[in-house]
Amino acid sequence: MEAIISIAIGLLTACGVFLLLRARTFPLILGLTLLSYAVNLFLFASGRLRMDAPPLVRDGASYTDPLPQALVLTAIVIGFGMTAYLVMLALRALNESGDDHVDAREKT
């Protein structure tokens, strides 16, 4: 099970980084999204993989580690904020330069 999650994290990272290095803004946004998935999973996995042990206090139950979950929860929301910001930046850049290349110069 650990190997499966590790492979998934590695795969998402690789795909994310590759897209991050592309020249257009849109693949870059996708790449960042994939990289966020990978990083969130990595953080989440630091609490280890336990089934049927949600951190909800009940009598006689055992729990998985709640702290990474709290961190990842905010990370997901912040990730949304970042994606939204990038999308807006991409649109703005398109407007300024008439092109969606990341190195596009300003319209002259």
Partner 1 sequence: MASSQLLIAIVVTALFASPLPLLAQRYGRGAATLCSALVITACLTLLLPLIPDAMNGVVLLASVTWLPDWGLMLSLRLDGLGLMFSLLILGIGLLVTLYAYYYLPGHDKLGRFYTLLLLFMAAMLGVVLSENLLLLVVFWELTSLASFLLISYKRESYESRLAGRIALAVTGGGGLALFAGVLLLGHIAGSYELSAVLAAGDIIRAHELYAPMLILVLLGVFTKSAQFPFHFWLPQAMAAPTPVSAYLHSATMVKAGVFLLARLYPALAGTELWFWLVSGTGAVTLVYAAYVAFYRYDFKGLLAYSTISHLGLITLLFGLDTPQSEVAAVFHIINHAIFKASLFMAAGIVDHECGTRDMRRVNGLFKFMPITATLAIVAAGSMAGVPLLNGFLSKEMFFAETVGHPVFDEIKWLLPTFATLAGILAVAYSSRFIHDVFFNGDPVDLPRKPHEPPRWMRAPVEVLVAMCLLVGIFPQWSIAPILTVAAGAVLQQPPPEFHLAVWHGFNAPFMMSLVALAGGIALYAMRHRLYALYDRLPTIHASIVFERAYENLVAAARLLVDWMDGGSLQRYLALFVAFVLALGGWAWWSATVAPLPVVTQAPDAASLVALGMLTVAATGVVLLHRHRLVAIVLTSVIGLFVALTFVRFSAPDLALTQLAVEVVTIVLMLLALYYLPPTSPAEDAMPRILRDALLAIAAGVGLGAASYAMLTSPLDTLSGFYLAQSLPGGGGSNVVNVILVDFRGFDTLGEITVLAMVGLAAHALLDQLVLKAPLRDGDGRAWATERHPLFLQMLMRPLLPLALMVSVYIFLRGHNLPGGGFVAGLVTGVALILQYLASGIGFASARLPQRLPLFLAAGLLAALGAGAASWLFGRPFLTSAHGHVTLPLIGDVELASAMVFDLGVYLVVVSVVLMVLAELGKLSVSHEGAN
Positions 83 through 102 that interact with partner 1 (CB under 8 A): 83-85, 87-92, 94-95, 100, 102
- Does the footprint of partner 1 cover residue 32 (CB under 8 A)? no
- Does the footprint of partner 1 cover residue 108 (CB under 8 A)? no
96 membership: H or E segment, kind and range: helix 66-97
CB of 106 to partner 1, least distance (A): 12
CB of 60 to partner 1, least distance (A): 13
In the list 45, 60, 107, 108, the residue contacting partner 1 (rule: CB under 8 A) is 45
Q: Buried b vs exposed e over 5-20: b needs ≥16 C-beta within 10 Å?
A: eeeebeebbebbeebe
- Does the footprint of partner 1 cover residue 38 (CB under 8 A)? yes
- Does the footprint of partner 1 cover residue 4 (CB under 8 A)? yes
Answer for the pair 35, 17: CB distance below 8 angstroms, yes or no. yes
CB of 108 to partner 1, least distance (A): 15
How is residue 34 written in tokens?
A: 């994939």
Neighbouring residues of 74: CB distance < 8 A, sequence distance ≥ 6: none
